[in-house]
Structure 1
């Protein structure tokens, strides 16, 4: 994304130049395509499945203008994340603006109630936003949220008690609205008032802001919103009488005394009303969506019932696949380019985050629902950057506890036959009803009272990648080359495995001690029946390859994690060059297989000591013919790299021993910038000593935060305390899960993941162990 120098003209439009002569035009003069002209977020198709409704746009026209809405619509992950990152160019000021302007009669009703909704954390610009966010953040930190866990567990049990012997329930009406509302009121410090009244207020607020109420409905909606405003004001005044009580609003009142210019009266009144909605409606909808999704996927539901350790990651995948936030809105403050489309200053944007969460460019097999998905937490349901949802970890905690309660006490629950309906609006979505049924005679607690005891520990914050495992069975083992075995892994119950992209790897637990080793996938990425890896017996094995060579046999069960991919193949390139040495052919072979399937121009260079040691050799010869160039040391041939002709736009993918990759890095100095992309077998450096830690400062550019990392504390720990999500796994610098991007400053690397050249580039670090060499780092967070 970059600033536009001039607006689009019709002849320069990046999409749909061949539309009809009488097609409507965008504000920049581009013709609007038929699909863009027809886009209507209030249609049932969008309400039922927003990502599917805009699939055409995500694939063909990722940024388009909607004449019906008067908004530019953004649908791809990278574009939407870039919008979230820059809240100066893309102002949040219209996030709570009525998407459908109301008439004079409804406006008069609102005025009669003194309705004066002001800016809140959601729609406030800088420089006002960040001081208020910092002032009010502490109650949302993981440490502070722990105190609310007992209440959520008690409510979950009490509400399930009410209907567990009935054999049927509407979970929205009977539980999923009231429990999050009760928690929200408790968190805010608001007395528990009439639940039904507040539910109607919240729905009215949603329709008033993001919906399309008809003229005859607007007055009724306005009346409910006005009453909601007055209710919020009365509660706030009562709180002022005794601000020492617990609750976020009382916390704000106390902060007002210290920071009267930051936490103002009008701000507190607006936050009271917005907070009641934000703190419960999204969580209620998200939990209903999650249960619906899980019950529609019986295998995933059964896995959760059997293994509660999967619940935290399942929550993230539910939020990614079918979250409660369909879209957000932003206002362009200057001319800018998004996804190749010039957007004029003053343009309104509908950024469809639910579409971003289904973007294949970010999530492999994005439409597949996989509760073990390695990067599920990368979803944008909570937003990103300085305006990311402050209450995200409260929502995660509630969802985890509710899923634990249902999987433990009603594992035999199933969806009843029904048609799901949604309140028509652009942004918030959850089923209005969720009817389920079960046989009460099969309730586990009737036979075993232990079913009443919670099983799953709550993880407040981003889930740990280390806990997300799946069991696979060795289906076959072949001697693929000298000292190399090829292992085919399948799901024990025969179900499909997640699809993966070339360059991906899996982590394999080797032995009972939990030794974890990474192996690249080398089969067909389109084969959902199995994963294939090739394992070289290393003479100086650290235990992984030696264990597999000694113990692997058909029928053996293994626990794996992933697949994950840090070595992605760009399918949009016109040509690609692949270079591999020895066992490094495993990820490269999958890339070459995919390049051939796509009809791309490519060449494959493969080096080895002898033909007998070169795994996959026969099938590579058969598949790639003249495109395959072999270099066999035993036969006197060697890849000197002189044959490589690297043109602009031609990426070079390489994997192999350090000597080959070091030579490629030297050669790449004469190639076009950023042509070389490598994956090393292992880090060439060892972790550094931790005994001389110094405190350092970090600036989080995207979140507009300045933090101090004290001596004796990790960057990862400090980020968590300030509600900044960073995935993690081993937390020892071994797995690479907590990698963050460095924009400025020098890093003292203490991990065992990055190569020498990666360390020297100073653009990446592991948050769990590495630190600043100087006094400060600037991070892309």
Structure 2
């Protein structure tokens, strides 16, 4: 939808309609006009409350708030990706304007909150960020692990024999605060005072206090401001002090034009909140979520290697950062909606984190989700949270210690309350209970010893896999083996959408296969072609797998989605490429959409699912067999495309290249394809050349050696980047390129996209020789 809009809180901004008039947005406009983030459904479950928006109106104006609300994953990411067009200057702006009385009180304290790292524009933001980043790199954060574990164990020791506690009060508030103060180098002697100050700052900035409450909050915020100034003066008197704020103060003395006096004072106040409040709330959400999803908790207790990804899934499903803000600096559009200069945006990460367009079965909690790390809770791009890895480290240690020492922990019966605001979320209290007589350490002292020490940083995808059982094997065609897979513990497997794939982990092989059964079934079905000239994975599966075998899988993931808005769908499959195409055909038929299906192979006996194709899709189906001298007429197929029609193809490279050539002059988005094999043989150091990459948003220049990839070089520097196949097949490791010539080696980008030279698949593609400037 594209609409010329005027952002006004007085009523519907479309076509000059008043709030009471009929709005051209249609039925969802009622939800848009009624949207109030300070009460009701949004406060109970923001992602669920905005499901209607993700499905019907992903960008809408909320008159009650005076903001444009953005709810879909890709739209949110596009906003975060451009900090110039979408300025962060309103991040710390009071979302509820202060009353004159409150403003007078703040002024009486000399309150002068100014720019910090979260609300500063470029280029000043990046200049300061580069100066202050060193303390946040993984190698530096490793030094804090023992302190975090010691504090955590001390707190658990204090309540482990009680049988009941409020985890927020007894551990999850104070430990993150102590860790934050230690990291910052701030004195630890006024925790209770800091707690009241922190709450006041959150309410003042992101809440909707009454006029009376504003007066109380203003006094607390004013005292917080003065307290921050006093702490700075104490720290200035300790020139050799350790911690990030001491470093910031030294940089203020060394580079006063970059790290200014006002910045130091404002950052001291902001960072005390940011460094602990978000981790405290996220940790409370994590335990609430895991103890509500008991099977996940028990799996973690049995296998602590699941902890890093469980933390990421908790951050995705119930993160503490619900929404953030931006302001458009020029007329633009988001999600097809035109926005005027000055438009204020509320980008709701909690909603994007459950968007099924990016996360399969996104509103389901799944600690085995292999792309959970894609969540937007930490933001994205130039302003991504610098402290993300501190939070991850703390949450992992909390979870490892609690699941080891209190595996029988349960949620107490209770009603949960939350501080009403737009942006931060976590329960005020979290009561849990257990039987102390069942504490493992009462009978086994080894229960006191940690079982895992996780490296700082995002979890490795290859450490994430769920256990499944081979329920059935069947012959789908010559050399094509069909498998039915069930969860090893009899649970339903996650739902998936047409075009999705899984990765089977069998023996020493990890291989991807498209799902081709019923997306609503509790089991999965795949079909595997035996390739004797391949790398051995399919041959191993054909020769060794049998019913009842226990294996592992990753996924499901979907990088080959149907566009729901096409006027007609032309589905083309070559050989085993029928697997994702069959699922697409099933979905289109179920939805009553217009489609045609073409399937080609060497002979009918080598083509899987021919009987089902004829039975279920006969009127739309055309089969082609080489031994019968029937072949696809690809030029005629493309020439016959009507307006708005799209082609979806999976098969051998020759088929896909031919279709790419034939559709080269058609509108973007006409041709969609998926490869199921690659000719990428990996790096040969003797034939490769080292080159530099500049991470523009992070202020780093790195060398990509001749024996490593761009992807691994970026990950080693502590920069989060998604990755899946590592073969140039899936597109998950794509990064925008601002400058430089790319040696494209992937199977994802179209010919046009390659010629534009704006995107690189970092797992396989390289520079042609010079430096690459990447938007990271």
**Given the two structures, how large is their TM-score scaled by the length of structure 2?**
0.93
- Structure 2 distance, partners of 1:344, 1:526, is 42
Q: What residue in structure 1 maps to residue 518 of structure 2? A: 524
Aligned equivalents of 1:280, 1:163: Cα separation in 2: 22
The DSSP-based 3-state class of the residue aligned with 1:166 is: coil
Determine helix, strand or coil for the equivalent of 2:20.
Answer: coil
SS of equivalent residue, structure 1 residue 669: coil
Determine helix, strand or coil for the equivalent of 1:34. Answer: helix
- 2: CA distance between counterparts of 1:32 and 1:567? 28
| Alignment-derived partner of residue 771 in structure 1 | 766
Q: Deviations over 1:96-138 (max 9, x none)?
A: 1111122232222222222111110111112221101111111
Residues 599-635 of structure 1: CA distance to partner in whole angstroms, max 9, x if unpaired? 1111110012222111111111111112000111222
Residues 1:211 and 1:46: Cα distance change in structure 2 (over 3 Å): same
Q: Which residue of 1 aligns with 2:652?
A: 657
Post-superposition shift, 1:14?
A: 12
Structure-1 residue corresponding to 2:20: 22
Alignment of 1:601-616 (within 5 A): 601-616=594-609
Which position in structure 1 is the counterpart of 2:207? Answer: 211
What secondary structure, in the 3-state scheme, does the structure 2 residue paired with 1:231 have? helix
Structure 2 residue aligned with 1:746: 741
Structure 2 counterpart of 1:578: 571
Q: Which moved more, 1:670-679 or 1:606-615?
A: 670-679
Specify which of 419, 431, 438 is matched with residue 435 of structure 1. Answer: 431
Gap regions ≥5 residues in structure 2: none
Residues in 2 aligned to 1:89 and 1:741: alpha-carbon distance in whole angstroms: 16
Q: Which residue of 2 aligns with 1:719?
A: 714
1:565 aligns with 2:563: no
Deviation at 1:769, TM superposition (A): 5.6
Shift of 1:40: 1.1
Counterpart residue number, 1:271: 267
Report which stretch shifted further, 713-722 or 554-563.
713-722
> Does structure 1 retain, via aligned residues, the 8 Å contact 2:284–2:426?
yes
1:148 aligns with 2:144: yes
Q: Distance in 2 between matches of 1:667 and 1:30?
A: 39
Q: Please say if 1:698 is aligned against 2:693.
A: yes
358-367 or 424-433: bigger deviation: 358-367
Q: CA deviation at 1:695?
A: 4.7
**Residue of structure 1 in register with 2:394 after alignment:** 398
SS of 2:645 mapped into structure 1: coil
Q: Shift of residue 149 of structure 1?
A: 0.8
SS at match of 1:638: coil
Greater alpha carbon shift after TM alignment, 244-253 vs 278-287: 244-253
Rounded Cα–Cα distance in structure 2 between residues aligned with 1:699 and 1:597: 48
Unaligned 5+ segments in structure 1 are none
1:684 and 2:679 aligned: yes
Residues 85-124 of structure 1 mapped to structure 2, 5 A cutoff: 85-124=81-120
Measure the CA separation in 2 of the matches of 1:334 and 1:525. Answer: 43
Tell me how far apart the structure 1 counterparts of residues 244 and 76 of structure 2 sit (CA, whole Å): 30
CA distance in 2, matches of 1:673, 1:209: 43
Equivalent residue number for residue 466 of structure 1: 462
Tell me if structure 2 keeps the 8 A contact 1:420–1:431. Answer: yes
Partner of 2:505: 509
Cα distance, 1:268–1:573 mapped onto 2, change above 3 Å: same
Are the structure 2 counterparts of residues 648 and 400 from structure 1 closer, same or farther at C-alpha, using a change threshold of 3 Å?
A: farther
Distance 1:718 1:660, change over 3 A: closer
Equivalent residue number for residue 411 of structure 2: 415
3-state SS of the aligned residue for 2:475? Answer: strand
Measured in 1, the distance between the counterparts of 2:5 and 2:135 equals 45
Q: Which residue of 2 aligns with 1:646?
A: 641
Contact 2:301 2:407 in 1 (8 A): yes
CA distance in 1 between partners of 2:118 and 2:13 (Å): 33
Residue 585 of structure 1: how far off its partner (Å): 0.7
Aligned 8 A contact 1:505 1:519 in 2? yes
Counterpart check, 1:328 vs 2:324: yes
Change over 3 Å in CA distance of 1:331–1:672 after alignment to 2:
closer
Alpha-carbon distance, 1:337 to partner: 2.0
Alpha-carbon distance between aligned partners in 1 of 2:46 and 2:330, rounded to the nearest angstrom: 28
Q: 1:261 to 1:507 in 2, by over 3 A?
A: same
Separation in structure 2 between the aligned mates of residue 715 and residue 405 of structure 1, nearest angstrom: 36
Quickly say closer, same or farther: Cα 1:624–1:729, change in 2 above 3 A. closer
Aligned residue in 1 for 2:584: 591
| Aligned match of 1:548 | 541
The answer on 1:625 being equivalent to 2:618 is: yes
Change (3 A) 1:15 1:238: closer
Structure-2 separation of matches of 1:602 and 1:394 = 50
Distance 1:114 1:598, change over 3 A: same
Alpha carbons 1:684, 1:756 under 8 Å: kept: no
Aligned residues of 1:32 and 1:65 also touching (Cα < 8 A) = no
Structure 1 residue 665 displacement after superposition: 2.7
Tell me the residue number matched to 2:74: 78
| Alpha-carbon distance change, 735 to 591 in structure 1, aligned in 2, over 3 angstroms | closer
Change in Cα spacing, 1:30 to 1:228, as seen in structure 2 (3 Å) is: farther
Contact kept in structure 1, 2:682 and 2:764, CA below 8 Å: no
Instruction: Please say if 1:385 is aligned against 2:353.
Output: no
Preserved CA contact (<8 Å) 1:651 1:676: yes
For 1:216 and 1:223, locate their aligned partners in 2 and report how far apart those are by CA, in whole Å.
12
**Equivalent of residue 369 in structure 2, options 367, 370, 373:** 373
1:143-162 C-alpha deviation (Å, 9 max, x unpaired): 11111111111111111111
- 2:586, 2:27 → 1: CA distance? 39
Matched residue, 1:319: 315
Would the alpha carbon gap of residues 125 and 552 (structure 1) be closer, same or farther in structure 2, given more than 3 Å must change?
Answer: same
Aligned match of 1:457 in 453, 457, 468? Answer: 453
Deviation at 1:674, TM superposition (A): 4.1
Per mean C-alpha deviation after superposition, the further-off stretch among 582-591 and 442-451 is 442-451
